[in-house]
Structure 1
Protein backbone atom coordinates (compact mmCIF):
# COMPACT_ATOMS: atom_id res chain seq x y z
CA UNK A 1 0.00 0.00 0.00
CA UNK A 2 1.45 3.36 -1.07
CA UNK A 3 0.79 5.50 2.00
CA UNK A 4 1.76 8.69 0.15
CA UNK A 5 -0.94 8.07 -2.48
CA UNK A 6 -3.56 7.43 0.21
CA UNK A 7 -2.51 10.51 2.17
CA UNK A 8 -2.59 12.71 -0.93
CA UNK A 9 -6.08 11.49 -1.86
CA UNK A 10 -7.33 12.05 1.71
CA UNK A 11 -5.72 15.52 1.86
CA UNK A 12 -7.37 16.49 -1.42
CA UNK A 13 -10.75 15.34 -0.14
CA UNK A 14 -10.18 17.28 3.09
CA UNK A 15 -9.61 20.47 1.11
CA UNK A 16 -12.84 19.93 -0.81
CA UNK A 17 -14.69 19.45 2.51
CA UNK A 18 -13.24 22.78 3.69
CA UNK A 19 -14.42 24.44 0.47
CA UNK A 20 -17.90 23.00 0.97
CA UNK A 21 -17.99 24.27 4.55
CA UNK A 22 -16.82 27.72 3.40
CA UNK A 23 -19.63 27.88 0.84
CA UNK A 24 -22.16 26.77 3.46
CA UNK A 25 -20.97 29.49 5.85
CA UNK A 26 -21.34 32.12 3.11
CA UNK A 27 -24.59 30.93 1.53
CA UNK A 28 -27.54 29.17 3.19
CA UNK A 29 -27.65 25.49 2.22
CA UNK A 30 -31.25 24.31 2.34
CA UNK A 31 -32.47 20.75 2.81
CA UNK A 32 -33.51 20.77 -0.86
CA UNK A 33 -29.94 21.60 -1.86
CA UNK A 34 -28.61 18.72 0.22
CA UNK A 35 -31.20 16.35 -1.24
CA UNK A 36 -30.21 17.47 -4.74
CA UNK A 37 -26.54 16.75 -4.09
CA UNK A 38 -27.34 13.38 -2.51
CA UNK A 39 -29.60 12.50 -5.44
CA UNK A 40 -26.88 13.33 -7.98
CA UNK A 41 -24.26 11.37 -6.05
CA UNK A 42 -26.33 8.25 -5.40
CA UNK A 43 -28.31 8.13 -8.65
CA UNK A 44 -25.79 9.44 -11.20
CA UNK A 45 -22.17 9.68 -10.00
CA UNK A 46 -21.81 6.37 -8.10
CA UNK A 47 -23.63 4.31 -10.78
CA UNK A 48 -21.32 5.97 -13.33
CA UNK A 49 -18.28 4.76 -11.34
CA UNK A 50 -19.69 1.22 -11.35
CA UNK A 51 -20.48 1.21 -15.08
CA UNK A 52 -17.15 2.87 -15.90
CA UNK A 53 -15.38 0.15 -13.94
CA UNK A 54 -17.24 -2.57 -15.84
CA UNK A 55 -16.67 -0.93 -19.23
CA UNK A 56 -12.94 -0.49 -18.55
CA UNK A 57 -12.25 -3.79 -16.83
CA UNK A 58 -11.70 -7.11 -18.52
CA UNK A 59 -14.26 -9.22 -16.63
CA UNK A 60 -12.00 -12.22 -16.38
CA UNK A 61 -12.34 -15.23 -14.14
CA UNK A 62 -9.96 -13.54 -11.69
CA UNK A 63 -12.16 -10.43 -11.47
CA UNK A 64 -15.21 -12.63 -10.90
CA UNK A 65 -13.41 -14.48 -8.10
CA UNK A 66 -12.39 -11.17 -6.55
CA UNK A 67 -15.98 -9.87 -6.74
CA UNK A 68 -17.37 -12.99 -5.05
CA UNK A 69 -14.63 -12.85 -2.41
CA UNK A 70 -15.19 -9.20 -1.58
CA UNK A 71 -18.98 -9.64 -1.40
CA UNK A 72 -18.71 -12.59 1.00
CA UNK A 73 -16.06 -10.77 3.02
CA UNK A 74 -18.29 -7.69 3.24
CA UNK A 75 -21.15 -9.70 4.75
CA UNK A 76 -18.89 -11.53 7.21
CA UNK A 77 -17.00 -8.36 8.14
CA UNK A 78 -20.09 -6.24 8.81
CA UNK A 79 -21.97 -8.97 10.67
CA UNK A 80 -18.90 -9.70 12.78
CA UNK A 81 -18.29 -5.99 13.44
CA UNK A 82 -21.88 -5.49 14.63
CA UNK A 83 -21.77 -8.38 17.10
CA UNK A 84 -18.25 -7.50 18.29
CA UNK A 85 -19.21 -3.86 18.93
CA UNK A 86 -22.41 -4.96 20.67
CA UNK A 87 -20.54 -7.32 23.00
CA UNK A 88 -17.94 -4.68 23.84
CA UNK A 89 -20.74 -2.18 24.49
CA UNK A 90 -22.34 -4.59 26.93
CA UNK A 91 -18.95 -5.08 28.61
CA UNK A 92 -18.95 -1.32 29.24
CA UNK A 93 -22.37 -1.77 30.87
CA UNK A 94 -24.32 0.08 28.17
CA UNK A 95 -27.98 -0.88 28.15
CA UNK A 96 -28.95 -3.44 25.52
CA UNK A 97 -30.80 -0.76 23.53
CA UNK A 98 -27.84 1.63 23.55
CA UNK A 99 -25.36 -1.14 22.80
CA UNK A 100 -27.34 -2.06 19.67
CA UNK A 101 -27.46 1.52 18.42
CA UNK A 102 -23.78 2.14 19.10
CA UNK A 103 -22.92 -1.17 17.42
CA UNK A 104 -24.68 -0.01 14.24
CA UNK A 105 -22.79 3.30 14.28
CA UNK A 106 -19.54 1.39 14.93
CA UNK A 107 -19.88 -1.36 12.33
CA UNK A 108 -21.23 0.22 9.13
CA UNK A 109 -18.97 2.50 7.09
CA UNK A 110 -19.61 5.13 4.45
CA UNK A 111 -18.70 3.04 1.41
CA UNK A 112 -21.14 4.70 -0.98
CA UNK A 113 -20.14 8.32 -0.40
CA UNK A 114 -16.45 7.91 0.44
CA UNK A 115 -15.29 4.32 -0.10
CA UNK A 116 -16.25 3.96 -3.77
CA UNK A 117 -14.93 7.41 -4.86
CA UNK A 118 -11.72 6.93 -2.84
CA UNK A 119 -11.14 3.43 -4.25
CA UNK A 120 -11.74 4.78 -7.76
CA UNK A 121 -9.26 7.62 -7.14
CA UNK A 122 -6.52 5.33 -5.80
CA UNK A 123 -7.03 2.07 -7.72
CA UNK A 124 -8.84 3.20 -10.88
CA UNK A 125 -12.01 1.74 -12.46
CA UNK A 126 -11.44 -1.78 -11.14
CA UNK A 127 -11.09 -0.45 -7.61
CA UNK A 128 -14.35 1.48 -7.94
CA UNK A 129 -16.10 -1.60 -9.30
CA UNK A 130 -14.97 -3.93 -6.52
CA UNK A 131 -15.73 -1.27 -3.88
CA UNK A 132 -19.28 -1.17 -5.21
CA UNK A 133 -19.52 -4.96 -4.71
CA UNK A 134 -18.33 -4.46 -1.12
CA UNK A 135 -21.02 -1.79 -0.77
CA UNK A 136 -23.68 -4.23 -2.01
CA UNK A 137 -22.84 -6.55 0.89
CA UNK A 138 -22.97 -3.56 3.27
CA UNK A 139 -26.43 -2.55 1.99
CA UNK A 140 -27.69 -6.08 2.57
CA UNK A 141 -26.49 -5.96 6.18
CA UNK A 142 -27.84 -2.45 6.84
CA UNK A 143 -31.35 -3.20 5.62
CA UNK A 144 -31.58 -6.59 7.29
CA UNK A 145 -29.45 -7.00 10.43
CA UNK A 146 -29.12 -3.24 10.99
CA UNK A 147 -32.83 -2.43 10.93
CA UNK A 148 -33.62 -5.59 12.92
CA UNK A 149 -31.34 -4.36 15.74
CA UNK A 150 -32.70 -0.80 15.66
CA UNK A 151 -36.34 -1.86 15.92
CA UNK A 152 -37.46 -1.99 19.51
CA UNK A 153 -39.79 -4.93 18.88
CA UNK A 154 -37.00 -6.83 17.11
CA UNK A 155 -39.09 -8.20 14.26
CA UNK A 156 -37.75 -8.49 10.75
CA UNK A 157 -39.95 -7.45 7.83
CA UNK A 158 -38.94 -8.52 4.32
CA UNK A 159 -40.42 -5.26 3.01
CA UNK A 160 -37.35 -3.57 4.50
CA UNK A 161 -35.26 -5.18 1.77
CA UNK A 162 -36.96 -3.06 -0.91
CA UNK A 163 -34.43 -0.37 0.05
CA UNK A 164 -31.82 -2.58 -1.63
CA UNK A 165 -33.34 -1.63 -4.99
CA UNK A 166 -31.19 1.47 -5.34
CA UNK A 167 -29.39 2.99 -8.31
CA UNK A 168 -25.86 1.70 -7.48
CA UNK A 169 -27.05 -1.90 -7.06
CA UNK A 170 -29.14 -1.69 -10.23
CA UNK A 171 -26.10 -0.33 -12.10
CA UNK A 172 -24.00 -3.21 -10.75
CA UNK A 173 -26.53 -5.82 -11.90
CA UNK A 174 -27.20 -4.24 -15.31
CA UNK A 175 -23.50 -3.66 -15.93
CA UNK A 176 -22.72 -7.24 -14.95
CA UNK A 177 -25.31 -8.61 -17.36
CA UNK A 178 -23.90 -6.36 -20.08
CA UNK A 179 -20.37 -7.61 -19.40
CA UNK A 180 -21.46 -11.26 -19.52
CA UNK A 181 -23.10 -10.64 -22.90
CA UNK A 182 -19.65 -10.08 -24.39
CA UNK A 183 -20.73 -6.85 -26.08
CA UNK A 184 -18.62 -3.70 -26.06
CA UNK A 185 -20.32 -0.58 -24.75
CA UNK A 186 -20.78 2.23 -27.29
CA UNK A 187 -17.96 4.77 -27.20
CA UNK A 188 -20.33 7.57 -26.24
CA UNK A 189 -21.54 5.54 -23.23
CA UNK A 190 -17.97 4.81 -22.17
CA UNK A 191 -17.06 8.51 -22.41
CA UNK A 192 -20.22 9.52 -20.57
CA UNK A 193 -19.68 7.18 -17.61
CA UNK A 194 -15.99 8.13 -17.42
CA UNK A 195 -16.91 11.83 -17.28
CA UNK A 196 -19.72 11.39 -14.75
CA UNK A 197 -17.67 9.09 -12.52
CA UNK A 198 -15.26 11.93 -11.81
CA UNK A 199 -18.10 13.84 -10.12
CA UNK A 200 -18.56 11.43 -7.25
CA UNK A 201 -15.59 12.27 -5.01
CA UNK A 202 -15.81 16.09 -5.18
CA UNK A 203 -19.60 16.17 -4.84
CA UNK A 204 -19.49 13.78 -1.87
CA UNK A 205 -16.89 15.89 -0.08
CA UNK A 206 -18.78 19.12 -0.82
CA UNK A 207 -21.91 17.52 0.63
CA UNK A 208 -20.05 16.62 3.83
CA UNK A 209 -18.75 20.20 3.99
CA UNK A 210 -22.31 21.48 3.70
CA UNK A 211 -23.24 19.57 6.86
CA UNK A 212 -20.69 21.30 9.09
CA UNK A 213 -21.83 24.95 9.49
CA UNK A 214 -25.54 24.20 10.13
CA UNK A 215 -24.50 21.58 12.66
CA UNK A 216 -22.50 24.13 14.67
CA UNK A 217 -25.07 26.91 14.27
CA UNK A 218 -27.89 24.97 15.90
CA UNK A 219 -26.61 25.71 19.36
CA UNK A 220 -26.97 22.07 20.34
CA UNK A 221 -24.47 20.01 22.27
CA UNK A 222 -21.39 19.21 20.21
CA UNK A 223 -20.93 15.76 21.75
CA UNK A 224 -22.90 13.12 23.61
CA UNK A 225 -21.39 11.09 26.47
CA UNK A 226 -20.99 7.86 24.51
CA UNK A 227 -19.58 9.43 21.32
CA UNK A 228 -16.10 8.10 22.06
CA UNK A 229 -17.32 4.53 21.65
CA UNK A 230 -18.47 4.49 17.97
CA UNK A 231 -15.59 6.79 16.96
CA UNK A 232 -12.89 4.59 18.47
CA UNK A 233 -14.53 1.36 17.31
CA UNK A 234 -15.29 2.51 13.74
CA UNK A 235 -12.02 4.31 13.02
CA UNK A 236 -9.39 2.39 14.99
CA UNK A 237 -10.29 -0.76 16.91
CA UNK A 238 -12.36 -2.62 14.29
CA UNK A 239 -10.01 -1.64 11.40
CA UNK A 240 -6.87 -2.66 13.33
CA UNK A 241 -8.32 -6.04 14.32
CA UNK A 242 -9.71 -6.66 10.81
CA UNK A 243 -6.55 -5.70 8.95
CA UNK A 244 -4.43 -7.79 11.32
CA UNK A 245 -6.57 -10.81 10.45
CA UNK A 246 -6.63 -9.97 6.73
CA UNK A 247 -2.82 -9.77 6.62
CA UNK A 248 -2.58 -13.49 7.37
CA UNK A 249 -5.34 -14.67 5.05
CA UNK A 250 -4.42 -16.37 1.73
CA UNK A 251 -5.90 -13.55 -0.30
CA UNK A 252 -5.02 -11.55 -3.41
CA UNK A 253 -2.72 -8.60 -2.55
CA UNK A 254 -4.91 -6.20 -4.51
CA UNK A 255 -7.95 -7.13 -2.42
CA UNK A 256 -5.95 -6.69 0.78
CA UNK A 257 -4.98 -3.18 -0.31
CA UNK A 258 -8.58 -2.43 -1.21
CA UNK A 259 -9.78 -3.65 2.19
CA UNK A 260 -7.30 -1.30 3.87
CA UNK A 261 -9.23 1.58 2.31
CA UNK A 262 -12.76 0.19 2.82
CA UNK A 263 -12.50 -1.05 6.41
CA UNK A 264 -11.64 2.21 8.29
CA UNK A 265 -14.28 4.46 6.68
CA UNK A 266 -16.45 6.84 8.78
CA UNK A 267 -19.99 6.01 9.87
CA UNK A 268 -22.48 5.50 7.04
CA UNK A 269 -24.56 8.54 6.02
CA UNK A 270 -27.86 6.62 6.05
CA UNK A 271 -27.53 6.31 9.82
CA UNK A 272 -29.31 9.66 10.16
CA UNK A 273 -32.29 8.43 8.15
CA UNK A 274 -32.53 5.09 9.96
CA UNK A 275 -32.07 6.54 13.45
CA UNK A 276 -34.68 9.21 12.71
CA UNK A 277 -37.18 6.51 11.73
CA UNK A 278 -36.50 3.79 14.29
CA UNK A 279 -35.00 5.60 17.32
CA UNK A 280 -34.95 8.91 19.16
CA UNK A 281 -31.20 9.40 18.75
CA UNK A 282 -31.07 11.25 15.41
CA UNK A 283 -28.75 13.97 16.76
CA UNK A 284 -26.37 11.35 18.11
CA UNK A 285 -26.14 9.73 14.69
CA UNK A 286 -25.46 13.11 13.03
CA UNK A 287 -22.67 13.86 15.51
CA UNK A 288 -21.10 10.44 14.93
CA UNK A 289 -21.20 10.87 11.13
CA UNK A 290 -19.65 14.34 11.20
CA UNK A 291 -16.92 13.62 13.75
CA UNK A 292 -16.01 10.25 12.23
CA UNK A 293 -15.81 11.84 8.76
CA UNK A 294 -13.49 14.58 9.97
CA UNK A 295 -11.32 12.23 12.03
CA UNK A 296 -11.03 9.62 9.26
CA UNK A 297 -8.93 12.11 7.29
CA UNK A 298 -6.22 11.39 9.87
CA UNK A 299 -7.00 7.79 10.82
CA UNK A 300 -7.12 6.28 7.31
CA UNK A 301 -3.44 7.14 6.61
CA UNK A 302 -2.57 5.81 10.09
CA UNK A 303 -4.33 2.53 9.31
CA UNK A 304 -2.48 2.38 5.96
CA UNK A 305 0.87 2.80 7.78
CA UNK A 306 -0.11 0.05 10.22
CA UNK A 307 -1.08 -2.24 7.34
CA UNK A 308 2.32 -1.70 5.74
CA UNK A 309 4.02 -2.42 9.07
CA UNK A 310 2.39 -5.82 9.58
CA UNK A 311 2.47 -6.94 5.92
Structure 2
Protein backbone atom coordinates (compact mmCIF):
# COMPACT_ATOMS: atom_id res chain seq x y z
CA UNK A 1 0.00 0.00 0.00
CA UNK A 2 2.75 2.45 0.99
CA UNK A 3 4.80 1.54 -2.07
CA UNK A 4 1.88 2.15 -4.44
CA UNK A 5 1.21 5.55 -2.81
CA UNK A 6 4.88 6.54 -3.19
CA UNK A 7 4.97 5.41 -6.84
CA UNK A 8 1.76 7.30 -7.57
CA UNK A 9 3.10 10.42 -5.87
CA UNK A 10 6.45 10.29 -7.66
CA UNK A 11 4.67 9.88 -11.03
CA UNK A 12 2.52 12.87 -10.09
CA UNK A 13 5.64 14.85 -9.17
CA UNK A 14 7.30 13.88 -12.45
CA UNK A 15 4.23 15.00 -14.42
CA UNK A 16 4.26 18.43 -12.75
CA UNK A 17 8.05 18.63 -13.19
CA UNK A 18 7.45 18.19 -16.92
CA UNK A 19 5.07 21.16 -16.86
CA UNK A 20 7.83 23.30 -15.32
CA UNK A 21 10.37 21.89 -17.76
CA UNK A 22 8.18 22.65 -20.78
CA UNK A 23 7.40 26.12 -19.40
CA UNK A 24 11.13 26.81 -19.21
CA UNK A 25 11.74 25.35 -22.67
CA UNK A 26 9.04 27.61 -24.14
CA UNK A 27 10.47 30.65 -22.36
CA UNK A 28 7.46 31.09 -20.08
CA UNK A 29 9.81 30.72 -17.10
CA UNK A 30 13.05 32.59 -17.78
CA UNK A 31 16.29 31.47 -16.10
CA UNK A 32 16.73 34.86 -14.41
CA UNK A 33 13.28 34.43 -12.81
CA UNK A 34 14.26 31.21 -11.03
CA UNK A 35 15.86 32.92 -7.99
CA UNK A 36 12.71 35.01 -7.46
CA UNK A 37 10.46 31.97 -7.89
CA UNK A 38 12.61 30.07 -5.39
CA UNK A 39 12.27 32.93 -2.90
CA UNK A 40 8.50 33.02 -3.35
CA UNK A 41 8.17 29.30 -2.69
CA UNK A 42 10.80 28.97 0.05
CA UNK A 43 10.11 32.20 1.95
CA UNK A 44 6.32 32.46 1.63
CA UNK A 45 4.61 29.29 0.41
CA UNK A 46 6.65 26.65 2.27
CA UNK A 47 6.68 28.46 5.64
CA UNK A 48 2.88 28.91 5.39
CA UNK A 49 2.49 25.23 4.58
CA UNK A 50 4.82 24.10 7.39
CA UNK A 51 3.13 26.37 9.93
CA UNK A 52 -0.40 25.42 8.96
CA UNK A 53 0.15 21.67 8.61
CA UNK A 54 2.05 21.53 11.92
CA UNK A 55 -0.49 23.70 13.73
CA UNK A 56 -3.68 22.17 12.32
CA UNK A 57 -4.79 19.08 14.19
CA UNK A 58 -1.63 18.78 16.31
CA UNK A 59 -1.82 18.69 20.10
CA UNK A 60 0.78 19.10 22.85
CA UNK A 61 0.49 15.40 23.57
CA UNK A 62 1.30 14.55 19.94
CA UNK A 63 4.45 16.71 20.10
CA UNK A 64 5.71 15.02 23.28
CA UNK A 65 4.81 11.55 22.01
CA UNK A 66 6.80 12.08 18.81
CA UNK A 67 9.80 13.96 20.25
CA UNK A 68 11.90 10.87 19.49
CA UNK A 69 12.01 12.17 15.91
CA UNK A 70 14.55 14.78 17.05
CA UNK A 71 16.83 12.03 18.33
CA UNK A 72 16.44 10.03 15.09
CA UNK A 73 17.35 13.13 13.08
CA UNK A 74 20.48 13.71 15.17
CA UNK A 75 21.50 10.04 14.79
CA UNK A 76 20.98 10.17 11.04
CA UNK A 77 23.14 13.27 10.64
CA UNK A 78 25.96 11.68 12.62
CA UNK A 79 25.85 8.62 10.36
CA UNK A 80 25.47 10.46 7.03
CA UNK A 81 28.22 12.95 7.93
CA UNK A 82 30.63 10.08 8.69
CA UNK A 83 29.66 8.13 5.57
CA UNK A 84 30.01 11.08 3.17
CA UNK A 85 33.37 11.99 4.76
CA UNK A 86 34.63 8.43 4.13
CA UNK A 87 33.37 8.49 0.53
CA UNK A 88 34.97 11.89 -0.12
CA UNK A 89 38.28 10.65 1.33
CA UNK A 90 38.14 7.60 -0.92
CA UNK A 91 37.16 9.43 -4.12
CA UNK A 92 39.42 12.44 -3.47
CA UNK A 93 37.56 15.04 -5.60
CA UNK A 94 39.77 17.97 -6.60
CA UNK A 95 39.97 21.13 -4.48
CA UNK A 96 36.92 22.05 -2.44
CA UNK A 97 34.74 19.53 -4.26
CA UNK A 98 35.29 17.02 -1.43
CA UNK A 99 33.59 19.30 1.10
CA UNK A 100 30.86 20.35 -1.32
CA UNK A 101 30.21 16.69 -2.15
CA UNK A 102 29.58 16.08 1.56
CA UNK A 103 27.43 19.21 1.76
CA UNK A 104 25.29 18.11 -1.19
CA UNK A 105 24.69 14.56 0.03
CA UNK A 106 24.18 15.31 3.73
CA UNK A 107 21.27 17.72 3.39
CA UNK A 108 18.12 16.53 1.62
CA UNK A 109 15.39 18.50 -0.10
CA UNK A 110 12.93 18.53 2.79
CA UNK A 111 11.04 21.56 1.50
CA UNK A 112 10.34 21.06 -2.19
CA UNK A 113 10.19 17.22 -2.19
CA UNK A 114 9.86 16.10 1.44
CA UNK A 115 6.90 18.31 2.36
CA UNK A 116 4.50 17.32 -0.45
CA UNK A 117 5.54 13.67 -0.24
CA UNK A 118 5.03 13.39 3.52
CA UNK A 119 1.67 15.17 3.29
CA UNK A 120 0.53 12.65 0.67
CA UNK A 121 1.75 9.67 2.70
CA UNK A 122 0.81 10.81 6.22
CA UNK A 123 -1.76 13.65 6.11
CA UNK A 124 -2.24 13.70 9.89
CA UNK A 125 1.30 13.69 11.27
CA UNK A 126 3.77 13.81 8.36
CA UNK A 127 4.48 17.53 8.71
CA UNK A 128 4.84 17.22 12.49
CA UNK A 129 7.61 14.69 11.93
CA UNK A 130 9.24 16.99 9.39
CA UNK A 131 9.00 19.97 11.77
CA UNK A 132 10.75 18.02 14.54
CA UNK A 133 13.34 16.70 12.06
CA UNK A 134 13.96 20.27 10.81
CA UNK A 135 15.01 21.44 14.27
CA UNK A 136 18.20 19.38 13.87
CA UNK A 137 18.36 19.79 10.10
CA UNK A 138 18.37 23.60 10.14
CA UNK A 139 20.73 23.84 13.10
CA UNK A 140 23.33 21.74 11.29
CA UNK A 141 22.73 23.26 7.86
CA UNK A 142 23.59 26.79 9.00
CA UNK A 143 26.66 25.67 10.96
CA UNK A 144 28.30 22.51 9.64
CA UNK A 145 26.71 22.98 6.20
CA UNK A 146 28.06 26.51 5.83
CA UNK A 147 31.49 25.26 6.93
CA UNK A 148 31.43 22.58 4.20
CA UNK A 149 30.30 25.12 1.58
CA UNK A 150 33.03 27.62 2.45
CA UNK A 151 36.10 27.62 0.21
CA UNK A 152 39.50 26.93 1.72
CA UNK A 153 40.58 30.52 0.99
CA UNK A 154 37.58 32.00 2.80
CA UNK A 155 36.34 32.09 6.38
CA UNK A 156 32.89 30.78 7.25
CA UNK A 157 30.64 33.48 8.72
CA UNK A 158 28.03 31.98 11.02
CA UNK A 159 25.86 34.35 13.03
CA UNK A 160 22.68 34.10 15.07
CA UNK A 161 20.88 35.70 12.14
CA UNK A 162 21.71 32.63 10.04
CA UNK A 163 19.19 30.61 12.06
CA UNK A 164 16.37 33.14 11.67
CA UNK A 165 14.84 31.90 8.42
CA UNK A 166 11.16 31.58 7.43
CA UNK A 167 10.96 27.81 7.93
CA UNK A 168 12.42 27.91 11.45
CA UNK A 169 10.12 30.83 12.35
CA UNK A 170 7.14 28.88 10.97
CA UNK A 171 8.05 25.80 13.03
CA UNK A 172 8.63 27.86 16.18
CA UNK A 173 5.32 29.72 15.81
CA UNK A 174 3.42 26.51 15.15
CA UNK A 175 4.88 24.84 18.24
CA UNK A 176 4.09 27.91 20.35
CA UNK A 177 0.47 27.91 19.12
CA UNK A 178 0.22 24.19 19.88
CA UNK A 179 1.72 24.47 23.36
CA UNK A 180 -0.51 27.37 24.45
CA UNK A 181 -3.57 25.97 22.68
CA UNK A 182 -4.14 29.13 20.60
CA UNK A 183 -6.57 29.07 17.68
CA UNK A 184 -6.47 31.20 14.54
CA UNK A 185 -9.51 33.23 13.41
CA UNK A 186 -11.50 31.38 10.75
CA UNK A 187 -10.66 33.83 7.95
CA UNK A 188 -6.89 33.52 8.62
CA UNK A 189 -7.21 29.74 8.89
CA UNK A 190 -8.98 29.62 5.50
CA UNK A 191 -6.39 31.95 3.94
CA UNK A 192 -3.47 29.80 5.07
CA UNK A 193 -5.25 26.63 3.94
CA UNK A 194 -5.81 28.11 0.48
CA UNK A 195 -2.13 29.06 0.16
CA UNK A 196 -0.89 25.68 1.34
CA UNK A 197 -2.93 23.93 -1.36
CA UNK A 198 -0.78 25.62 -4.03
CA UNK A 199 2.61 24.75 -2.58
CA UNK A 200 3.14 21.27 -4.02
CA UNK A 201 2.48 22.29 -7.63
CA UNK A 202 4.52 25.50 -7.34
CA UNK A 203 7.50 23.62 -5.89
CA UNK A 204 7.45 20.97 -8.62
CA UNK A 205 7.09 23.54 -11.43
CA UNK A 206 10.12 25.40 -10.05
CA UNK A 207 12.16 22.18 -9.87
CA UNK A 208 11.17 21.25 -13.42
CA UNK A 209 12.45 24.61 -14.66
CA UNK A 210 15.60 24.21 -12.52
CA UNK A 211 16.37 20.88 -14.20
CA UNK A 212 15.98 22.48 -17.64
CA UNK A 213 18.45 25.27 -16.89
CA UNK A 214 20.96 23.17 -14.89
CA UNK A 215 23.92 21.39 -16.43
CA UNK A 216 22.91 18.13 -14.77
CA UNK A 217 24.15 15.96 -17.65
CA UNK A 218 27.73 16.95 -16.82
CA UNK A 219 27.20 15.75 -13.26
CA UNK A 220 26.49 12.24 -14.58
CA UNK A 221 30.04 12.12 -15.94
CA UNK A 222 31.55 12.19 -12.43
CA UNK A 223 31.89 9.06 -10.30
CA UNK A 224 31.21 11.19 -7.21
CA UNK A 225 27.55 11.46 -8.19
CA UNK A 226 27.05 7.71 -8.61
CA UNK A 227 28.66 6.86 -5.28
CA UNK A 228 26.55 9.52 -3.57
CA UNK A 229 23.30 8.35 -5.15
CA UNK A 230 23.85 4.66 -4.47
CA UNK A 231 25.08 5.06 -0.91
CA UNK A 232 23.06 8.03 0.40
CA UNK A 233 19.84 7.72 -1.60
CA UNK A 234 19.51 3.92 -1.74
CA UNK A 235 21.71 1.76 0.50
CA UNK A 236 21.76 3.90 3.66
CA UNK A 237 17.98 4.55 3.86
CA UNK A 238 17.25 0.86 3.29
CA UNK A 239 19.71 -0.38 5.92
CA UNK A 240 18.85 2.25 8.53
CA UNK A 241 15.15 1.89 7.72
CA UNK A 242 15.19 -1.86 8.35
CA UNK A 243 16.97 -1.31 11.67
CA UNK A 244 14.55 1.44 12.73
CA UNK A 245 11.54 -0.75 11.92
CA UNK A 246 12.78 -3.13 14.63
CA UNK A 247 12.80 -0.46 17.34
CA UNK A 248 9.09 -0.43 18.09
CA UNK A 249 8.77 3.30 17.39
CA UNK A 250 5.56 4.47 15.63
CA UNK A 251 5.40 3.08 12.11
CA UNK A 252 4.54 6.43 10.49
CA UNK A 253 7.49 8.07 12.26
CA UNK A 254 9.91 5.46 10.92
CA UNK A 255 8.57 5.67 7.38
CA UNK A 256 8.72 9.46 7.48
CA UNK A 257 12.34 9.13 8.56
CA UNK A 258 13.06 6.68 5.72
CA UNK A 259 11.62 9.13 3.18
CA UNK A 260 13.62 12.01 4.66
CA UNK A 261 16.84 9.97 4.54
CA UNK A 262 16.35 9.16 0.84
CA UNK A 263 15.65 12.70 -0.42
CA UNK A 264 17.67 14.35 -3.22
CA UNK A 265 19.99 17.28 -2.54
CA UNK A 266 18.51 20.39 -0.91
CA UNK A 267 17.70 23.05 -3.52
CA UNK A 268 19.53 25.87 -1.74
CA UNK A 269 22.82 23.92 -1.59
CA UNK A 270 24.13 25.37 -4.91
CA UNK A 271 23.21 28.89 -3.79
CA UNK A 272 25.12 28.50 -0.51
CA UNK A 273 28.03 26.78 -2.26
CA UNK A 274 28.26 29.68 -4.73
CA UNK A 275 27.89 32.30 -1.99
CA UNK A 276 30.61 30.89 0.27
CA UNK A 277 32.88 29.13 -2.21
CA UNK A 278 33.76 28.38 -5.83
CA UNK A 279 31.88 25.13 -6.47
CA UNK A 280 28.36 26.41 -7.15
CA UNK A 281 28.20 24.78 -10.60
CA UNK A 282 29.38 21.42 -9.22
CA UNK A 283 26.72 21.58 -6.50
CA UNK A 284 24.03 22.61 -9.01
CA UNK A 285 24.81 19.58 -11.18
CA UNK A 286 24.49 17.22 -8.21
CA UNK A 287 21.28 18.93 -7.11
CA UNK A 288 19.56 18.62 -10.48
CA UNK A 289 20.84 15.08 -11.11
CA UNK A 290 19.76 13.72 -7.71
CA UNK A 291 16.36 15.35 -8.16
CA UNK A 292 15.92 13.65 -11.54
CA UNK A 293 16.89 10.17 -10.28
CA UNK A 294 14.85 10.50 -7.05
CA UNK A 295 11.74 9.79 -9.14
CA UNK A 296 13.08 6.22 -9.24
CA UNK A 297 15.28 5.89 -6.14
CA UNK A 298 12.64 6.83 -3.55
CA UNK A 299 10.19 4.11 -4.72
CA UNK A 300 13.16 1.66 -4.85
CA UNK A 301 14.01 2.46 -1.21
CA UNK A 302 10.40 1.95 -0.10
CA UNK A 303 10.10 -1.32 -2.07
CA UNK A 304 13.28 -2.89 -0.69
CA UNK A 305 12.70 -1.65 2.85
CA UNK A 306 9.27 -3.26 2.97
- Settle same-fold status: TM greater than 0.5: yes
Query: Contact conserved, 1:112 with 1:132, CA < 8 A, in 2?
Result: no
Distance 1:93 1:250, change over 3 A: same
Shift of 1:258: 1.1
1:114-263 alignment to 2 at 5 Å?
114-151=113-150, 152=152, 157-159=157-159, 161-215=160-214, 221=218, 223-225=220-222, 226-263=224-261
Shift of 1:241: 2.8
How many angstroms apart in 1 are the aligned matches of 2:120 and 2:44?
17
Counterpart in the other structure of 1:284: 282
Query: Contact conserved, 2:52 with 2:193, CA < 8 A, in 1?
Result: yes
Distance 1:260 1:55, change over 3 A: same
SS in 1 for 2:214: helix
**How many residues align structurally?**
304
How many angstroms apart in 1 are the aligned matches of 2:213 and 2:99?
28
Shift of 1:282: 1.5
How well do the aligned residues superpose, as a CA RMSD in angstroms? 2.4
SS in 2 for 1:198: helix
Counterpart in the other structure of 1:61: 61
Shift of 1:154: 8.9
Query: Contact conserved, 2:81 with 2:106, CA < 8 A, in 1?
Result: yes
1:8 aligns with 2:4: no
1:21 aligns with 2:24: no
Query: Contact conserved, 2:156 with 2:276, CA < 8 A, in 1?
Result: no
How many angstroms apart in 2 are the aligned matches of 1:93 and 1:58?
46
Structure 2 residue ranges without an equivalent (≥5): none
How many angstroms apart in 2 are the aligned matches of 1:78 and 1:108?
9
Distance 1:94 1:76, change over 3 A: same
How many angstroms apart in 1 are the aligned matches of 2:256 and 2:239?
16
Structure 1 residue ranges without an equivalent (≥5): none
How many angstroms apart in 2 are the aligned matches of 1:258 and 1:81?
17
Shift of 1:190: 1.8
Residues 95-148 of structure 1 deviation map (CA, whole Å, 9 limit, x = unaligned): 684433222222210001111121112211521232133223211111111222
How many angstroms apart in 1 are the aligned matches of 2:93 and 2:236?
19
Query: Contact conserved, 1:139 with 1:164, CA < 8 A, in 2?
Result: yes
Provide the TM-score with structure 2 as the length reference: 0.90
